[in-house]
Structure 1
Amino acid sequence: MASSCGLLLLLAAGGFVSISDGRFVDEECAEFHFHGWNGWRVVDAALNQPASLTRRFKDAQEAGLNVLRFFLGDDERSPVLQTAPGVFDERVAQAVDFVLAESAAHSIKLTPVLLNLWKRNNGVPQFEEWCGTASTSRQPRPGGGSLDAQERLQTPYDWLVSPKCRDQVKKYFTTLVNRRNTITGVLYKDDPTIMSWNLLNEPRCRSCGPEAVDSWIGEMAGHLKSVDPNHLITTGAEGFFDESDPMARYNPQDRSLWASRTGQHFRANHAHAAISYATVHTWPDNWRNPPFPTSWGRQWLDAHSQVFKPKIVRVWL
């Protein structure tokens, strides 16, 4: 949602974060400054140790933090939200209700991560099993070679392009945003506690070219915006430039050009009308791009100013 503040004052529901003139703004059109953090095993804590989650929110509020990004499924030890596409385990869904209610009680906004490339729990591997693409290893471009397990995890090509698989994700999104919180009575799509939705943590399609990931992002973001027009949406991408983009010279990579061939295309991925703001991840330990923290790090972040939407550095590890 991007507009002038005058129009936003007429349209905004109480408490929703919006975008005006390239800035995050609150319901009064005052600039929304946030200090956020990534939370792990949040739903697990809500289900099994709710008092500890309440303390976590209290501590965060006292420390001046006001936005939490969290996964609806962390790892295989965490509670599993979905038993089938768009079919929730009610006990786990009520734990998510608790996360939203406690977050609101402590004036903290949320960005739930809807899907995760890397984990089966509420992630792409689980959806591949449901859709029947888990056993395929197709790459549309030659030269990718055979795939080991880690490489295959990063190459869900058939899943990304399949209409059936996309429809399963749409069903999940639609069910989630239309859920009524059992504690607050508010539909998720009407809850201003949610700042934004994160479509897919670190989408990739190794040696696929940029079309598969970009098409998926555009269609999924468009669907989500159609069933929930109130909330901001972002991609969850690391911010890699495709090898066809002159900006690819800023990617963290060696001679293998791995970052330019992840399937991400930063400028195209964030140009979709339903994508509200851009995300950038920075992993100095994993990427090992010397000399990291100063010279390259500044260039990496500055390079992303080419997209004229607000940007958030989501991960810095």
Structure 2
Amino acid sequence: MKLSTLLSISSAVAIASAQQPAYAQCGGVNWSGGSICVSGFYCFKQNEFYSQCIPGTATTTAATTTATSGSPATSTIAPPVASITSFAKAAGNVFNINGKSQYFMGTNSYWIGFFTSNDDVDLVFSHLASTGLKVLRVWGFNDVTTIPSAGNVWFQSFVKGSTPTINTGADGLQRLDYVVESAGKHGVSLIINFVNNWSDYGGMAAYRSYYNLSTTDQSQWYTSAAVQAQYQKYIATVVARYKDNPTVFSWELANEPRCNGCATSVVTNWIKTTSAYIKSLDSKHMVCIGDEGFGIDGGTDTSYPFGPGEGIDWVANLKISTIDFGTAHLYPESWGETDAWGTSWINIHAAAAKTIGKPVILEEYGTATKANILVWQKAVMDSGTAADMYWQYGDTFSWGQTHNDGHSIYYGTAEYKTYVEDHAAAMAAKAV
């Protein structure tokens, strides 16, 4: 999901007013709204990318929100009840997770690896486990072009004049370490990706800026020897940390890779090279692409998402031997389609994956109105899609709620019961 193109309902209201309402965004990279909160709230900086209006004053100590970078908080959450003991793998058109072939529901949390409180991480995983969500997709990247102040999490830096640096410290990949640890203890598997197509959290744009690549010729990122060498160096660093840990469900090449106007061979060759490289480092875990599902035969539907304009050939890419399963995302509003159109998108990808003999996950899906979510979930069930993972999981902490981009569904709400708990149970009960 491209976060920077979305506004939460609270943020949209705030832009039109002098002060930010309770729990609204009030700062961060690329933020153009106000930074003053309504009375009784102050603008709390979670990290350099996101600040939020939370109760209190600027001198309030948010004890459960942060830990010092040298001494992560100790968890006080109740002990988990499950653990991951075997590596996930594709099993025909479904997956075998922790020794059981099954359909499943999961979700996405781009922000969990950037938390500095272990208690907050544990709370999320305890809620996911209690809901029956099997897999969480997380950002395994956090690229910066300037080194942030102490206490702000970052994973890799691209600072002009300096060598790119991978941060393995307490405010770096050690935060991702704790996400993996907590997930495993709670019986939740992880999809971890390595770079963002979008500029949120650095992404390909950070590489392009550092290596002086064109901002219009997207093929350069995929073909630059210098870029790919650093990208693979980062991959190797992350993979080495968890290659023997069965909590990792799959490695993922990128979040929504595109190459607008490129020959599809550019991305296909990059997928072949990168997935083979990952398999050479780690033969135990699955590898997927993380793409949206573009470039697939839609029959009589020749609309934009089915075409090759974004440089993607979905079927050719899924046939690559070092890719274990397919991914598809679903945001009809962003693609100029109606929500009702989404059912055919789900069915076409499920049918193509079945022909190839690999599973497919509807890895992200969301709609501002949420009116068609149940329809899409029924299509997932009926089509034999192996899993679906809604965008995005939301939760509430002592300092307030996680980011609401208009698609968030928050734990403990009526929406959560309708769209998450009930569907997770139905997917888990579906016979293989």
- Determine which of 57, 77, 84 is the counterpart of 2:125: 57
Report the equivalent of 1:44: 114
The answer to whether structure 1 residue 175 and structure 2 residue 249 are counterparts is no
Shift of 1:163: 2.5
Report the equivalent of 1:193: 247
For residues 32 and 62 of structure 1, the distance between their equivalents in structure 2, rounded to whole angstroms, comes to 18
Cα offsets for 1:6-32 (capped at 9, x unmatched): xxxxxxx9410112333311353x313
For residues 225 and 300 of structure 2, the distance between their equivalents in structure 1, rounded to whole angstroms, comes to 34
Contact 2:143 2:157 survives alignment (8 Å): no
Cα offsets for 1:268-289 (capped at 9, x unmatched): 1111111000001000221231
Matches within 5 A, 1:48-87: 49-73=117-141, 79-83=153-157, 87=166
One-letter amino acid of the counterpart of residue 365, structure 2 = W
Contact 2:249 2:285 survives alignment (8 Å): yes
SS of 2:123 mapped into structure 1: helix
Contact 2:113 2:176 survives alignment (8 Å): yes
Shift of 1:37: 0.5
One-letter amino acid of the counterpart of residue 177, structure 1 = V
Cα offsets for 1:78-99 (capped at 9, x unmatched): 7220135572241211111110
Contact 1:201 1:236 survives alignment (8 Å): yes
Report the equivalent of 2:325: 277
Shift of 1:125: 1.2
- Determine which of 256, 264, 268 is the counterpart of 1:210: 264
Report the equivalent of 2:173: 93
For residues 285 and 300 of structure 2, the distance between their equivalents in structure 1, rounded to whole angstroms, comes to 34
The answer to whether structure 1 residue 298 and structure 2 residue 343 are counterparts is yes
Structure 1 unaligned regions, length at least 5 = 1-12, 138-151, 180-187
Contact 1:277 1:311 survives alignment (8 Å): yes
SS of 1:261 mapped into structure 2: coil
Which 10-residue stretch deviates more, 17-26 or 51-60?
17-26
One-letter amino acid of the counterpart of residue 193, structure 1 = T
Shift of 1:102: 0.6
Give the TM-score of the pair, scaled to structure 2.
0.57
For residues 50 and 252 of structure 1, the distance between their equivalents in structure 2, rounded to whole angstroms, comes to 45
One-letter amino acid of the counterpart of residue 123, structure 1 = G
Shift of 1:259: 5.0
SS of 2:231 mapped into structure 1: helix
Report the equivalent of 1:125: 205
Shift of 1:127: 2.0
Structure 2 unaligned regions, length at least 5 = 1-83, 159-163, 367-432
Cα offsets for 1:39-82 (capped at 9, x unmatched): 1311122x2x3211211111111111121001124687972201
Report the equivalent of 2:282: 228
Higher strand share: 2
Cα offsets for 1:93-133 (capped at 9, x unmatched): 11111101111111110001211100253511122234332
Contact 2:328 2:360 survives alignment (8 Å): yes
- Determine which of 85, 88, 92 is the counterpart of 1:21: 92
Cα distance change on mapping 1:74 and 1:286 into 2, 3 Å: farther
Cα offsets for 1:131-160 (capped at 9, x unmatched): 332xx25xxxxxxxxxxxxxx4xx521121
One-letter amino acid of the counterpart of residue 153, structure 2 = P
One-letter amino acid of the counterpart of residue 111, structure 2 = R
Report the equivalent of 2:44: none
Report the equivalent of 1:266: 314
Structure showing greater Rg: 2
Contact 2:253 2:275 survives alignment (8 Å): yes
Aligned length: 267
Contact 1:250 1:300 survives alignment (8 Å): no
Cα distance change on mapping 1:175 and 1:266 into 2, 3 Å: same
One-letter amino acid of the counterpart of residue 194, structure 2 = L
For residues 194 and 302 of structure 1, the distance between their equivalents in structure 2, rounded to whole angstroms, comes to 28
Contact 1:81 1:122 survives alignment (8 Å): no
Contact 1:270 1:278 survives alignment (8 Å): yes
Cα offsets for 1:277-317 (capped at 9, x unmatched): 00010002212313x33xx2221112112232100001111
Higher helix share: 1
For residues 295 and 201 of structure 2, the distance between their equivalents in structure 1, rounded to whole angstroms, comes to 28
Shift of 1:169: 1.4
One-letter amino acid of the counterpart of residue 137, structure 2 = R
For residues 27 and 66 of structure 1, the distance between their equivalents in structure 2, rounded to whole angstroms, comes to 10
